[in-house]
Amino acid sequence: MKITIIAEGWIQSVEYRAFVKRVANQLGLRGLVRNLPDGRIEVFCEGALSKINKLLKMMNYRGRKGDALSAYVESLSVYREGEKGYRGPWKEYGAFDVDYGFEIQSPVDRALIENLESGTLYVTSSRDEFGLLKDEFSMFRKETNKNFETMEEKYGSISEEIKKMRATFEKLVDAYIKRQK
Hey, what's the torsion of the CAs at 19, 13, 121, 34, to 10 degrees?
30
Q: Which residues contact 45 (CB under 8 A, 6 or more apart)?
A: 2, 3, 4, 5, 24, 29, 30, 31, 52, 55, 96
**pTM score:** 0.60
Point out the catalytic residue in the list 30, 35, 141, 145. Answer: 35
Query: Which pLDDT score is estimated for 161?
Result: 77
End-to-end CA distance of the chain: 98
Of residues 17, 22, 127, 166, which has the active-site annotation? Answer: 17
53 catalytic? Reply is: no
Q: Is 17 a catalytic residue?
A: yes
Q: Which residues contact 100 (CB under 8 A, 6 or more apart)?
A: 34, 113
List the pLDDT tens digit at each of the 181 positions of the chain. 999 999 999 888 778 888 899 899 999 999 999 999 999 999 999 999 999 999 999 999 887 777 766 788 999 999 999 999 999 899 998 888 888 776 766 777 667 667 666 655 555 555 555 566 666 767 777 777 777 677 777 776 777 777 777 888 788 777 878 887 6
